[in-house]
Amino acid sequence: MSRKAKAPSTTASEAINKIDFKEAVIRHLHCTLGTDENKANNHAWWKATCAAIQENVLEGLRKTQKTHYLNDTRAVHYFSAEFLMGRLLSNNMHNLGLFDTAQEALKELGVELTDIMEEEPDMALGNGGLGRLAACFIDSLATMELPAIGYGIHYEHGLFRQEIKSGAQIERPDSWRDYGNPWEICRPESIQEVSLYGYVETKYGENGRIQKEWHPGVTVKGVPWDIPVVGYEGKTVNVLRLWQSEASDYFNWDVFNAGGYVDAQRENVHAETISKVLYPNDETEAGKELRLVQQYFFCSCSLKDIIRRYKRAHGDDWSRFVEQVVIQLNDTHPAIAIPELMRILVDRAELDWDKAWNICTQVFAYTNHTLLPEALEKWPARMIEKILPRHLEIIYEINHRFMALVDKKWPGDNEKKAKLSIIEEGNEKMVRMGNLSVIGSFAVNGVAEIHSHLVKQNLFPEFEALWPGKITNVTNGITPRRWLKACNPALSALIDKKIGNDWPLDLNKLEGLSKHAENKTFQKQFMQVKHANKQRLAKEIKHSLDIDVDVNAIFDVQIKRLHEYKRQHLNLLHIMALYRRILENPDYDMHPRVFIFGAKAAPGYRLAKDIIYAINMVGNKINNDPRVKNKIKVVFMPNYRVSLAEKMIPASDVSEQISTAGKEASGTGNMKLALNGALTIGTLDGANIEIAEEVGDDNIFIFGLTVDEVDALKNDGYNPLDYYYRDAEIKAILDWLETDYFTPGQPGALVSIKQSLLDEGDAYMVLADFRAYSDAQIKVDEAYRDKTRWAKMAIINTAKMGKFTSDRSIQDYVDKIWKLRACEVK
């Protein structure tokens, strides 16, 4: 599975020593930035350091590209609308084995590396788990020396920056490249043209063959920006290629000269809007249309780029295309690539339909990341017709032929046809991108065992019956290079000392820690590292929120997007219950706890924003109530993002993974936290189930309804009022939300949460799970008071995370789906 290797310090760092590095940084200060050591501020030092590192990165990139070209390698092309890369300096230095060299060199120049690292804006080109997974995967692909390219969108603005004003979320634009991004390289030589709108003309060729010609209404340019992706040890450097939209003719001089100053700019503005923002609000028609245009834009550019590269080696001979190219569709966002490839093959390359379809269905594979109906994309057929008229024709043709196949299997079964069809009939004809993805791919996978099972059983049962074996599972993973080695240097150093330093490439090696789990000295060292990390986070909390937290308290962390199914409000209700218990009994016995949240809510998701507001208002009341005697603190860290996660995860004691069973496809934060020695309190959902299998029931706090129990309760007619009237504590807490106790002068400001749970039916069964959750929290409290027991459990969690390296996920993709071979770069 994982490649065995030496410590990275023997690779790139051999070639570059401290003196070289200092010289390179100074050279970049002078020659790249036009400043000098005396004038340079932290930002300039950061840029010069990046430039010095980038020299090594580009050397690796050049060698990798040459090697792949000479070996004519098969490659995976990872199509994803999101890549949540975070910061790159620390990661690249670690992967090149240059971290220590750089740190010492900069120290000698009077510069603190950790300070200048703070200058780097996060590349937040994603919303959450799906985008971060893509980033972990491309790290693993490079590390495992697999030929791969990530393809996505070069958004000008990534995910919004979250500010909290008087307790409420305010969205501000994110400008990750305002002052230039030192890692990216523009490649104007590989610009692609993308067509949109217009109409289709039907023609008859000489041999009577019908030909379709699309006369587009608009053409825009796709400009590629390459971000090098450095594998651990720095041998293979792959590329993440992100497309930026520009107007085809940069400026219409004729119009301008004729006095139409504004008109001359209009086309530019329209074209540039395509890559302006990550997932614009899709509640309006224009927003939806823009999102579809974005998806098509990056898929079309990427396919043309792949074909250009293929033709360089194979000319017009398409027979080897499927040997060379595999495309992974990260969710349905890139599904429009399927009809686009068909269009290119049938209309442009003039292949006959069957041949083209044969190619298509050997090239694409699709990953499903959610069962939530609202996240399963459907586009109105008339919208596709307007933007991509030829593609709609192709989709109809794919569907027509597929329906014939369904009819063969289940003659006359119209119900089956209705379920399997790409087209959903109704008031408005819709195109189901999920069905299109399954039909156009040779493999489909879910992202955790339970999720893949539910994909087969509930989401696509008819496809499972039609093509048994096509739907498979690849459990998600995380890169241990970023999520342990780089973000938790003290724990990494301790692990290195105990079991050697090859675990970043072979995470199963962590198993070696198990035998030390009961060793008192090791327990002490392990918990000392945790303590120091908690001190660092406490400082950060003080700095950003002016809240004092006790580092001896339990740091209980819930970090993820805000969504009802993730149930941050279950956590909040429990906090309120604890508060109430303390008010009723000042001697209420509990170990002090700091509840720490990090979460962004979608701008248009009202209840999610109300939950953020409630956490802040309840927190504010509790934090300032002397009767609590600091037994509880509530901290909402604003602007949760990758770089903040890197600080919070190493400092966590408890990991909250409390989604309604069956709703969280996998989760990956659960893996990161457990890897860093946090204990999970969680439901049997997503990858929690596999984490529990690995760490054992004694080392995790599982509670709540299972998937089957959730279904059964729903079928029996779940009534949240039963819980409200039967459980006095639940009733008291919910009624509390209606008063102005937490929102002085604003009674009812928090009532929407109560309404969602009582009047609107509690879709995510918060009340049904409340008591079990509260009981599990009592067990957490007891366990933490036993220092030895807790330390042992924490060590075992770290030790048992081998399965969750993204290298294992990638190896599963390689074996089950991609059939790729590593290509060593010398």
Catalytic sites, residue numbers: 369, 560-561, 566, 668, 672
**Among residues 452 and 476, whose Cβ is nearest to ligand 9GP?**
476
Binding of residue 369 to ligand 9GP (CB under 6 A): yes
Please state the length of the chain: 826
Minimum distance, C-beta of residue 441 to ligand 9GP, in the bound complex (Å)? 16
DSSP letter assigned to residue 703: -
Tokens of 697: 């029931």
To which residue do tokens 């979460």 refer?
599
Residues 565-584 as b or e (16 or more Cβ within 10 Å = b): ebbbbbbbbbbbbbbeebee
Asked if residue 798 binds ligand 9GP (CB under 6 A), the reply is no
* Interacting span for ligand 9GP (CB under 6 A) from 367-375, 521-529, 632-640, 700-708: 367-375
Structure tokens at 300: 């079309």
Does position 664 interact with ligand 9GP (CB under 6 A)? The reply is yes
Size of the site for ligand 9GP (CB under 6 A): 16
Report in angstroms how near the CB of residue 447 gets to ligand 9GP at its nearest.
4
The helix (run of H) or strand (run of E) holding residue 148 is strand 148-153
The minimum distance between CB 715 and ligand 9GP, in angstroms, equals: 24
Cβ proximity to ligand 9GP: between 54 and 370 the closer is: 370
Binding mask 120-149 for ligand 9GP (x = CB under 6 A): --------xxx--x----------------
Q: Which of 370, 523, 623, 756: binder of ligand 9GP (CB under 6 A)?
A: 370
CB of 186 or CB of 375, closer to ligand 9GP? 375
Span near ligand 9GP by CB under 6 A; candidates 100-108, 236-244, 487-495, 660-668? 660-668
Kindly identify the residues of this chain, within the stretch 468-497, that bind ligand 9GP according to CB under 6 A.
Answer: 476
Q: Calculate helix-pair angle for 766-785, 787-799, nearest 10 degrees.
A: 110
Query: Which one, 226 or 331, has the nearer CB to ligand 9GP?
Result: 331
Given the complex with ligand 9GP, which of 155 and 723 has the nearer CB atom? 155
Beta strands (DSSP E) in 251-373 are 325-330, 364-367
Nearest approach, Cβ of residue 174 and ligand 9GP (Å): 18
For residue 716, what are the contacts with CB-CB under 8 A and spacing of at least 6?
none
294 binding ligand 9GP? (CB under 6 A) = no
Q: Which of residues 665-694 bind ligand 9GP (CB under 6 A)?
A: 665-668, 686
Which position's Cβ is nearest ligand 9GP?
Answer: 129
Cα dist from 224 to 156, 227, 302, 305, whole Å = 13, 10, 9, 10
Name which of 453 and 731 has its Cβ closer to ligand 9GP: 453
Minimum separation from the CB atom of position 376 to ligand 9GP (A): 8
Q: How far is the CB of 776 from ligand 9GP (least distance, A)?
A: 21
Regarding 331 and contact with ligand 9GP (CB under 6 A), the answer is yes
Contact region with ligand 9GP (CB under 6 A), list: 35-43, 318-326, 659-667, 695-703: 659-667
Candidate ranges 295-303, 369-377, 740-748, 798-806; the one touching ligand 9GP (CB under 6 A): 369-377
Contact 78, 130 (CB under 8 A): no
Burial grade of 31 (CB within 10 A; 0-12, 13-18, 19 or more): exposed
- Taking CB atoms within 8 Å and a gap of at least 24, the contacts of 514-517 are 514/795, 514/796, 514/799, 514/800, 516/795, 517/792, 517/795, 517/796, 517/799
Taking the C-alpha atoms of residue 666 and residue 30, their distance in angstroms, rounded to an integer, is: 48
Q: Where would I find the H helices in 489-567?
A: 489-499, 520-545
Site track for ligand 9GP across 430-449, x = CB under 6 A: -----------------x--
By the rule CB under 6 A, 568 interacts with ligand 9GP: no
Q: Does 700 bind ligand 9GP (CB under 6 A)?
A: no
Residues with Cβ within 8 Å of 545's Cβ and at least 6 positions away in sequence, in order, are: 635, 636, 637, 638
Residues 6+ apart with CB under 8 A from 697: none
Which residue's CB is nearer to ligand 9GP, number 228 or number 669? 669
Give the other-Cβ count within 10 Å of 646's Cβ: 20
C-alpha distances (whole Å) from 419 to each of 414, 462, 464, 465 are 9, 7, 12, 12
Contact set with ligand 9GP (CB under 6 A): 128-130, 133, 331, 369-370, 375, 447, 476, 664-668, 686
